[in-house]
Structure 1
Amino acid sequence: MKPSSVLSLGGIGWKKLGERMPAPSSSTDGSHARYFDLANIPVLISGGGSGIGAEIVRRFAQQGARVGFLEVNAEAAASLASSIEGVVAYEVVDLRDIGAARAAVSRLAGKLGAFRVLVNNAGDDARHAWKDITPEQWDDRFAVNLRHQFFLAQAVASGMAQAGGGSIINLGSISWMFGAVGVIAYTTAKAAVGGLTKSLARELGRDSIRVNAIAPGWVLTEKQVSRAQATDPSKFAAYLERQCLKEHLDAGDIASMALWLASGESRRCTGQTFIVDGGVI
């Protein structure tokens, strides 16, 4: 699949629902915090075509940022980009190919400017039985869920420093914190996000680059809802029993934390993992 890019306009997202099943609703109702320092700031988001990443793209665009995103699914990328109001560009790329990812970042920076914010969102929690996983599958899960986070940070850090600093936000997970079963390669990779975040914060702090992580709980994206409906519909109620707050998380909850970490409102926060899970951990 050849990389492609587009500038476009628009936005629709998912909202939460308490104990009910999720339904689509607008993310443009004007009820969100406004971060004026994000206006016209170049922002890069990986895995931005669907789920949490798509909502992060929408919400940065609503702030007036110049948003670039990376996505492996060309159809999803084009659909999202065509629906967003503001300056949005994307590249279709498989992040397991680091050379292609670096080239895609360079092309987007040429259109939008040196990135001041990077959100390392891309990942995949596909289920796998620990007894059956092969070395090749293990390496692939790390390539999908961890490796590109470091190399995208490496790709933007120089330009970010020359521009005066910025914010890198890595997406982790609470899954490793309670030892989720059926995703051992995923949980191991996500546990490593914390170490990556700590070390990058030390490496980049002198250049005024902050590095933090977000560890979400179970976020009811369309993919997660479909999977649970097909395999275990009782999971919705059971999971709420584990949460202190009795409302399911949605992608907007994670996007709100990403916006705060990108803005100057969090200017003294670095090297930290912020848990957004409704009180599971």
Structure 2
Amino acid sequence: MSATYQLASYPSLKGKRVFITGGGTGIGAAIVSALAEQGAIVAFVDIARDASEALCKQIAAAGFTAPSFRYCDLRDIGSLQNTIKELAEQLGDFDVLVNNAANDERHKLEDVTQEYWDNRIAINQRPSFFAVQAVAPGMIRKKAGSIINFSSISWHTSSGGFPVYTTAKSSVLGLTRGLARDLGAHNIRVNTVTPGWVMTERQIELWLDEKGKEDIKRNQCLQGELLPWHLARMVLFLASDESVMCTAQEFIVDAGWA
């Protein structure tokens, strides 16, 4: 992170209970770290056990409260909801939910089987709804909460090469808007964060080539790399009391690509 930036602190996040899916690497790890640095009580799930445990140790070594990590395959909804319940009993009802986990594996239309479709939806779409279902009772008891669902700029820009992924990610806006009215009656906010092409280790290793670099330079209004911490800063705002009257909205962080 450049030393030229003077970033905000959010006192309202201190002591807030936050649950994050896919918090072990990439954007999720940046969100976990940013919230822990604000004094939030953070819990997260991931299938990347080693990376997640290392992240917890790194945050603790920096002098912040170590997050609570649980291994969980989000395709197992029962396991996800039981994990949320267990952590809520341990830490207290959650104030914030961040539905971040996803997998943008490339695939071709002609290669998609029903089994593959179901597997991708089980990773990229289904867990978000059931995570909301699990945290909502606690938020209703608190009469407040913030739910942050992650989409992707890929479907906005008609990106090809992963149609099941773009289908799932476009549906996030429907989930957000479909829940905002019902949950708004309980003072619970529901919003979408939509990242552009974020330079995580995974993206750089698997997908970024010279053509990709040219696409970024041509399409982004703001030059330079879009990084995980840029997304984490938007999450901080939406998780905090600063966004008290923001709901049913999509917040795009893509350096002006779309």
What TM-score do you get using the length of structure 2 for normalisation?
A: 0.95
Between Structure 1 and Structure 2, the one with more helix by share is 2
The answer as to whether partners of 2:144 and 2:187 remain within 8 angstroms in 1 is yes
SS at 2:160 equivalent: coil
The answer as to whether partners of 1:50 and 1:76 remain within 8 angstroms in 2 is yes
Corresponding position: 1:35 with 2:10: yes
Instruction: Name the residue aligned to 2:39.
Output: 64
Corresponding position: 1:278 with 2:255: yes
- Per-residue CA deviations over 1:20-45 (Å, capped at 9, x if unaligned) read xxxxxx9xx99421000000110001
The answer as to whether partners of 1:121 and 1:170 remain within 8 angstroms in 2 is yes
Q: Which consecutive segments of 4 or more residues in structure 1 shift more than 6 A?
A: none
Corresponding position: 1:249 with 2:229: no
Instruction: Name the residue aligned to 1:44.
Output: 19
Q: For residues 6 and 87 of structure 2, what CA distance do their matches in structure 1 show?
A: 30
Instruction: Name the residue aligned to 1:180.
Output: 159
Q: Which runs of 5+ in 2 are unaligned?
A: none
- Per-residue CA deviations over 1:92-118 (Å, capped at 9, x if unaligned) read 000010000011111211222100000
Q: Which amino acid aligns with 1:43?
A: V
Q: Which amino acid aligns with 2:206?
A: R
Q: For residues 237 and 35 of structure 1, what CA distance do their matches in structure 2 show?
A: 37
Range moving further from structure 2, 71-80 or 168-177: 71-80
Instruction: Name the residue aligned to 1:160.
Output: 139
Q: For residues 253 and 23 of structure 2, what CA distance do their matches in structure 1 show?
A: 19
The answer as to whether partners of 1:52 and 1:221 remain within 8 angstroms in 2 is yes
Q: Give RMSD over aligned pairs.
A: 1.5
Corresponding position: 1:260 with 2:241: no
Between Structure 1 and Structure 2, the one with more strand by share is 1
Q: Which amino acid aligns with 2:252?
A: I
The answer as to whether partners of 1:213 and 1:274 remain within 8 angstroms in 2 is yes
Q: For residues 148 and 255 of structure 1, what CA distance do their matches in structure 2 show?
A: 20
The answer as to whether partners of 1:90 and 1:108 remain within 8 angstroms in 2 is no
The answer as to whether partners of 1:240 and 1:248 remain within 8 angstroms in 2 is no
The answer as to whether partners of 1:119 and 1:169 remain within 8 angstroms in 2 is yes
Tell me by how many angstroms 1:228 deviates.
3.0
Q: For residues 47 and 264 of structure 1, what CA distance do their matches in structure 2 show?
A: 24
Q: For residues 206 and 47 of structure 1, what CA distance do their matches in structure 2 show?
A: 29
- Per-residue CA deviations over 1:216-271 (Å, capped at 9, x if unaligned) read 10000010011135xx3331232121011112210011000001011111111100
Instruction: Name the residue aligned to 1:219.
Output: 198
Instruction: Name the residue aligned to 1:7.
Output: none
The answer as to whether partners of 1:91 and 1:108 remain within 8 angstroms in 2 is no
* Residue-pair matches, total: 254
Instruction: Name the residue aligned to 1:82.
Output: 57
Q: Which amino acid aligns with 1:58?
A: S
Which of residues 95, 98, 104 is equivalent to 1:116? Answer: 95
Instruction: Name the residue aligned to 1:53.
Output: 28
SS at 2:97 equivalent: strand
Corresponding position: 1:236 with 2:213: yes
SS at 2:131 equivalent: helix
Q: Which amino acid aligns with 1:213?
A: T
Which of residues 61, 86, 91 is equivalent to 1:107? Answer: 86
- Per-residue CA deviations over 1:36-82 (Å, capped at 9, x if unaligned) read 00001100010000000000000000000000001112112111111
Q: For residues 65 and 5 of structure 2, what CA distance do their matches in structure 1 show?
A: 16
SS at 1:100 equivalent: helix
